Each structure stands twice: as C-alpha cells, then as structure tokens.
Amino acid sequence: MLVYLNWGSEAVNILSQIVHGRIVNYRTGPKAQYSRQCLIELETIDSASSAGKLVGQKVTWKSGNNKFVGKIMSTHGRNGMVIVRFTHGVPGQAIGTRVELAS
C-alpha cells in the first residue's frame, strides 16, 4: 500500500523512507490505563487526514533483543497523533522512546 502526502507541488511517498515516531503515553480511561494501546506522535505527520492514511500499518518498538509489534488502529486528535495497539503490553520504559513505522 502506497501512502502519499502532498507537500507543495510534489507528492512524497512517506513509506519509501523510514518514518520514526515517539510513544507519548498509554491510552487511558477514567479508571484504567491500557498498556497494550499507546498514543504515538509521528515525525512527518502533522494533520489528522495524513494520519488517517496510515491506519492499518505496522509499528515496531525495539528494546535490546525484544521487539514489540503493533498496528495503527485510529487517529487521535487533529494534529496527527495515532493510537497503536501492540500484541503485548509495552513496558513503562517505552514512553518517550522512538518507534519505527514498518513499510
């Protein structure tokens, strides 16, 4: 699946380059915190419409020999943040670290 962003007069394929993001926080509710679901801010995405094109893509977080794989489920807000559901809950040390969008 190719995803293009229109910057100025040229369309850029964002999946042709490695896209990095940062885990901002877990998704939280009024009385619970979901460690399997994280809010992620991607570096090259700055709008909800651009983030919506990435729904379904895979995201990986690496820590030493451990690798956590997740899937972008939906957008969060209007500034391009996304909600990612990982296969297993990520540890608290993951908050603030980098993730990679798998192409």
Q: What CATH number does the domain containing 71 carry?
A: 2.40.10.190
Is residue 7 assigned to a domain? no
Measured at the CA of 55, the angle between CA 50 and CA 60, to 5 degrees, comes to: 105
Looking at residue 9, what is its pLDDT?
A: 42
Q: What's the pTM? A: 0.82
Q: In the chain, how many H helices and how many E strands?
A: 1, 8
Tell me the mean pLDDT in the region 64-89.
Answer: 94
Q: How many domains does the chain fold into? A: 1
Domain span including residue 80:
18-102
Looking at residue 13, what is its pLDDT?
A: 60
Reported as a single tens digit per residue, the pLDDT across 4-39 is 555 544 445 655 678 899 999 999 999 999 999 999
The pLDDT of residue 42 is above 70: yes
Looking at residue 45, what is its pLDDT?
A: 87
